[in-house]
Amino acid sequence: MPEPHGRRVLLGVTGGIAAYKSALLARLLSEAGMEVTAVLTDSATRFVGPESFSALTGHPAYVSLWDRPGEILHVRLAHETDVAVVAPCTANTIAKLAQGLADDLLASTLLEYDGPLVLAPAMHSGMWGADATQTNVATLSSRGVRFVGPVDGPLAHGDTGPGRMSEPAEIAEAVFAAVRPRDLDGARVLVTAGPTHEPIDPVRYIGNRSSGKMGVAIAREARARGAEVTLVLGPSTIAPPPAVEVIGVETAEEMRSAVIDRFTAADAVVMAAAVADFRPKAPNDRKMKKDTGVPDLMLEPTPDILAELGERRRSGQFLVGFAAETDDVEEAGRAKLRSKHLDALVANTVGREGTGFGSETNDATILVAEGPDVPMRPWSKAELAAVVCDLIARSRRPR
């Protein structure tokens, strides 16, 4: 079954003012580990240039059938594509695709292409609501084409209404879903992400460097594979994926309460959050002043949420933990796997550049209670999220 990371994406960009957002879409797809090749219509180049997409994706961007003399470019591109997306997709392009026209590189490539296709329409309200457009949309939908949007919002010429292109993050989710297996359909997955902040006073706190990227990547992957996902998210600037229930928390105690309330109903729980191990025993309710001297800060342990879940788990629940370590990563991870009664544990290397908190990659090993371990190696967070979800999916299969 295909997975998002490593998949080859054809990004079609057509002539609409929303074309500038396609650059962000290209970046989101690339950050997820996908190989993106952009094909622009001639009209699209009035708004954005192919050089922008080449720089963002690391692959050549094309405009014309004649960009590569000596080869049949549209055939090669079609055969080297796992999933195609057109964003923005104008009324003209929708009509071309419905009627099978092939008068430019993008239309020719998509006529030759036989695979999942996602369209993100963008046009004025009258054009979107026109009988001809709706007939073409119905025709394409009957062929299995997926539409994302359009949505209500500000349009060109100062108008407001249906026809605005969906946001790049939502379009990216549709692309991910188009190539992911639906092997988590019906599963209820609970994910924690981000740090916790334990207050010292109303201004200061004890925390850690976790960004929340890893847990959010897992929530995104699980949702795209069909799961009903609840994300318990500590303080973070990372935007959660759409169509996921998000519970915002700040402290370890708040995270514990949110998780315990939802634990029994979950089929799988992934504790990717970096929960603070200690908190001030008696936080001040007023800001401590510098001129009063260095305070004596008495600490106490925070609740060990993962250990509690390991003790409370019911038969059939799949429990995944994370361990962030600077030394003896695998040894420490194995000890935690056993002591917390986990099904799997991701042991990360932290404390150096390019891995762990805040980075786009992790040096990690995946330790599995019943089954082969995955050796230590560098991963993108999207790749790591996919393997964690693979384990959850495998746990649901009859034995």
Give 89-133 pLDDT, tens digit per residue: 999 999 999 999 999 999 999 999 998 999 999 998 899 999 999
Write out pLDDT tens, residues 198-232: 999 999 999 888 889 999 989 988 988 889 999 99
Q: What per-residue confidence (pLDDT) applies to 106?
A: 96
Distance from C-alpha of 291 to C-alpha of 312, rounded to nearest angstrom: 47
pTM (global) more than 0.85: no
Write out pLDDT tens, residues 34-79: 899 999 999 999 999 999 999 999 999 999 988 888 788 999 999 9
- DSSP state letters, 243-286: T-EEEE--SHHHHHHHHHHHHTT-SEEEE--B--SEEESS--SS
Q: What per-residue confidence (pLDDT) applies to 1?
A: 34
Q: Which residues pair with 205 in a beta bridge?
A: 199
In this structure, the chain runs to a length of 399
Q: What per-residue confidence (pLDDT) applies to 341?
A: 94
- Rg (C-alpha) for the chain, rounded Å, is 24
Residues in contact with 302: Cβ distance below 8 Å, sequence separation at least 6, in sequence order? 196, 198, 251, 252, 253, 275, 276, 277, 278, 279
Identify which of 340, 337, 363, 338 has the alpha carbon closest to the alpha carbon of residue 350. Answer: 363
CATH architecture of structural domain 8-179: 3-Layer(aba) Sandwich (3.40)
Write out pLDDT tens, residues 342-370: 999 998 887 666 666 767 778 889 999 98
3-class DSSP assignment, residue 385: helix
- DSSP state letters, 114-150: -S-EEEEE---HHHHHSHHHHHHHHHHHHTT-EE---
Could you identify the residue written with the tokens 């928390």? 249
To the query of whether residue 348 is one of the catalytic residues in this protein, the response is no
Q: What per-residue confidence (pLDDT) applies to 355?
A: 67
Tell me the average pLDDT across 312-323: 92
Stretch among 185-199, 247-261, 289-303, 353-367 having the lowest mean pLDDT:
353-367
Tell me the average pLDDT across 331-342: 92
Write out pLDDT tens, residues 9-23: 999 999 988 999 999
Angle at 317 (CA atoms; ends 313, 323), nearest 5 degrees: 75
Catalytic hit among 92, 136, 208, 348: 208
Run of H or E including 51: helix 50-57
CATH code 3.40.720.10 for 188-396: no
Residues in contact with 332: Cβ distance below 8 Å, sequence separation at least 6, in sequence order? 323, 325, 347
The pLDDT mean for the chain works out to 89
Give 240's pLDDT tier (boundaries 50, 70, 90): confident
For the chain, which residues make up each domain, given as ranges? 8-179, 188-396
Distance from C-alpha of 15 to C-alpha of 122, rounded to nearest angstrom: 10
3-class DSSP assignment, residue 16: coil
Q: What per-residue confidence (pLDDT) applies to 6?
A: 64
Whether 8-179 shares its CATH topology with 188-396 is answered yes
Q: What per-residue confidence (pLDDT) applies to 2?
A: 42
Greater pLDDT, 3 or 165: 165
Give 376's pLDDT tier (boundaries 50, 70, 90): confident
Q: What per-residue confidence (pLDDT) applies to 293?
A: 86
CB atoms within 10 A of CB 225: 26
